[in-house]
Amino acid sequence: MVTTSHGIVETPVFMPVGTIGTVKGITQQDLIADIKAPIILGNTYHLYIRPGMEIMKKAGGLHKFMHWDKPILTDSGGFQVYSLSPTRKLTHEGVEFTSYLDGTKHFFTPERVVDIQGMIGSDIIMPLDECVSYPSEYIYVQKSIKLTHRWLKRTADHFRARGEDAPKQLLFGIVQGGTYSDLRVESAKAVVENDLDGNAIGGLSVGEPAEEMYEMTERVVAHLPEHKPRYLMGVGTPDNLLESVALGIDMFDCVMPTRNARNGWLFTSNGVINLMNSKWKEDFSALDPDGTSFVDTYYSKAYVRHLHHSKEMLGAQISSIHNLAFYVWLIKEARKHIIEGDFASWKKDMVKRVTNRL
């Protein structure tokens, strides 16, 4: 459970990614009424570039700007600085990067990233960190987490020194350390020392094998306090979610359900469907007879396949609604089975089902 200014979020929870003030292809109304998303994620980097903080401030924050009254978590923008900027320069002070829009130079420091997220007004904010790519040399990662930890300290100090008029926000820490168990443990301990509102695991699901991801997650979770939310950033497939819940993870975000939807991939409780496959061409059965979304029994596989083939927007829309509704449903089911006490057996069966290729 996470208690925010915009309500309580029950965990485990999946957070749809609303990159630039919009979950791609989905109205806020459908997110609430059909998908039943309890919380969404916004990308600080994208929002900082466009619409920019001038408009964000005048709008009164992201909630008002996009008309979303439930909780929002924003990332720190760090990941996008590393992955999207044509050039970037990392110093002890912070990171300088170039806008992909107009080539202007910008500088993110741990303190500035707190302030930017203050203007966005999200409910949960994340600290600036360094995300190392996979694979990275041990020596590099060892140095990198020291920087990340120093930045986290600065982030926490700045966050706590904010005045009374600062928005009511939660601050999480981020554990890094690549795929090195000892560095992950070292990082977990250093992050936890800051006694923040929640703890996240970053830098996974960046290309390493799933087994390595689970191993790192397990090692880190052992050092994160149980009474605070544990958030595995950017993960993953339905079975990744279930396995990670089993390891003690409470929060997830991932672009996969919407990105794959735009390419005609559906995740269902009976397995994965690639609508571009010709086997669905004349399959007029419901998109997902067991699905919970209004699109699932209304539209047929053959119809939605036709939309994707014709590159019609509606194909991406229907598939995105379906996938997000499925992700949100799946993780709520996990919660139900945790409460009922039969999570382990349910998970074992469900992992088999969701990894099935239809």
**Structural tokens at position 202:** 């970053």
Report whether 144 contacts 130 (CB < 8 A). yes
Residue 75 annotated as catalytic: yes
> Could you give the string, one character per residue 291-330, with x where binding to its own copies holds by CB under 8 A and - elsewhere?
---xx--xxx-xx--xx-xx-xxx-xxx------------
**Mapping DSSP to helix (H, G, I), strand (E, B) and coil, where does residue 189 land?**
helix
Q: Closer to its own copies by CB, 20 or 185: give it.
A: 20
Q: Which secondary-structure segment (H or E) carries 155?
A: helix 138-160
Euclidean distance between CA atoms 156 and 172, whole angstroms: 9
**Is 25 near its own copies (CB under 8 A)?**
yes
Q: Closer to its own copies by CB, 52 or 209: give it.
A: 52
**Structural tokens at position 238:** 């339905």
Q: Closer to its own copies by CB, 306 or 332: give it.
A: 306
Smallest distance, its own copies to C-beta of residue 286, A:
10
The neighbour count for residue 211, using CB atoms within 10 Å, is 9
**Is 27 near its own copies (CB under 8 A)?**
yes
Euclidean distance between CA atoms 194 and 161, whole angstroms: 14
Extended beta strands in the chain, E state: 2-4, 7-9, 13-15, 40-42, 72-74, 88-90, 95-98, 105-108, 124-125, 170-175, 198-201, 230-232, 251-253, 265-268, 271-274
The residue from 34, 123, 239, 253 that is catalytic is 253
DSSP states along 121-146: T-SEE-----PPPSS--HHHHHHHHH
Smallest distance, its own copies to C-beta of residue 238, A:
24
Q: Closer to its own copies by CB, 17 or 331: give it.
A: 17
Contact pick of 2, 9, 17, 26 for its own copies (by CB under 8 A): 26
> Could you give the string, one character per residue 58-97, with x where binding to its own copies holds by CB under 8 A and - elsewhere?
xx----xxxx------------------------------
- Say which residues have a Cβ less than 8 Å from residue 69's Cβ, sequence separation at least 6: 6, 63
**Is 255 near its own copies (CB under 8 A)?**
no
Residues 262-291 that bind its own copies (CB under 8 A): 281-282, 284
Residues that bind its own copies (CB under 8 A): 20-22, 24-29, 50-51, 55, 58-59, 64-67, 281-282, 284, 294-295, 298-300, 302-303, 306-307, 309-310, 312-314, 316-318
Q: Which residues are catalytic?
A: 75, 253
